[in-house]
């Protein structure tokens, strides 16, 4: 259904591939616009933004260790440390 597309990055002007898998992912998430930047430029842009959100420390619901998160934990929802969250996803 989807085919790889070659797009041009608006930052660096280099061509990059918008793969069929990426297009399918965008469609599943309801994203209608194609990416404007290549992966390298997206990564550089993300890294250059200041992240001034507060860090909250709480207890991991799985292992009981320390979990640092960028959102206000709520009592009715479990919060996991990075290691436990990765284990659950993978």
**Separate counts of helices (H) and strands (E) for the chain:** 3, 4
63 shares a domain with 35: no
Per-residue pLDDT of the chain (90 residues; tens, 9 = 90+): 899 999 999 999 999 999 999 999 999 999 999 999 999 999 999 889 887 889 999 999 999 999 999 999 998 999 999 999 999 887
Which among 33, 23, 32 has a CA at the least distance from the CA of 1?
A: 23
Q: Report the residue count for the chain.
A: 90
Contact status, residue 67 vs residue 81, Cβ threshold 8 Å: yes
**Claim to verify: residue 21 and residue 41 sit in the same structural domain:** yes
Number of compact structural domains in the chain:
2
12 and 36 part of one domain: yes
Would you state the structure tokens that stand for residue 80, as one six-digit string? Answer: 């996991």
Q: Domain containing 78: what range?
A: 56-89
């Amino acid at each position: 259904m989807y085919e790889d597309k070659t797009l041009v990055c608006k930052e660096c002007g280099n061509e990059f591939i918008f793969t069929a898998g990426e297009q399918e992912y965008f469609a599943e998430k309801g994203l209608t616009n194609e990416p404007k930047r290549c992966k390298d430029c997206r990564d550089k842009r993300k890294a250059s933004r200041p992240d001034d959100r507060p860090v909250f420390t709480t207890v991991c619901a799985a292992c009981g260790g320390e979990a640092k998160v960028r959102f206000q934990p709520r009592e009715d929802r479990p919060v996991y440390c990075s290691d436990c969250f990765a284990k659950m996803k993978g």
